[in-house]
Structure 1
């Protein structure tokens, strides 16, 4: 046992630093508002996502093929009754979800998206589906 203690004591500062860096955790969990982790995670993405980016990242999985009764992107007939309900209704359904007709999960499962980003995605889909 003494041999192990002596060998650890005999390490140089650079060797000790190397060992310390190798035994560090692989990652770190930072919660929103925790300033001890460096920059805020929201700023790491480069700012707010466009409607097209949100659509391509979260919405197209269902809206490109009509999964779960989702109106297909670009299908004016499928969107017409929904558009007639007004954008506020579309926004509410997209943000809160809609489960009585098919399956529209809240925020299309993009929980990192802000309400404004979801609204931009709705606007993008509506603009391209009229």
Structure 2
């Protein structure tokens, strides 16, 4: 493949513009930026059937359904520039399905899940605030 493609930008003058096949992408699993060849890219296919496999108490499922059904109602700015999306803080002992629930609902709303574990953001209020500012 040619490294440059001929193009006509202004006044029908031919100009050479670079044609680079690499894209910089962010890996949500490793939290790293990577270079990927464009031939390796494909649209992500969300699995909308996952909620049928998730076992939750009805009250929990109803709450999550409300929070994920009409996202526009929860992302509208009441104060200009203060709402950047939804954040759900899940609390519970290990193994009850917090992460699995987040992954399933991420699929349902067709948005990537950026998962942060408490051990990676610090133990003091200052460290946590600094880490969250860097992430968001």
TM-score by length of 1: 0.26
Higher relative contact order, structure no. (Cα contacts within 8 Å, ≥ 6 residues apart) = 1
| Larger Rg over CA atoms | 1
Specify which structure has the higher proportion of helix.
Answer: 1
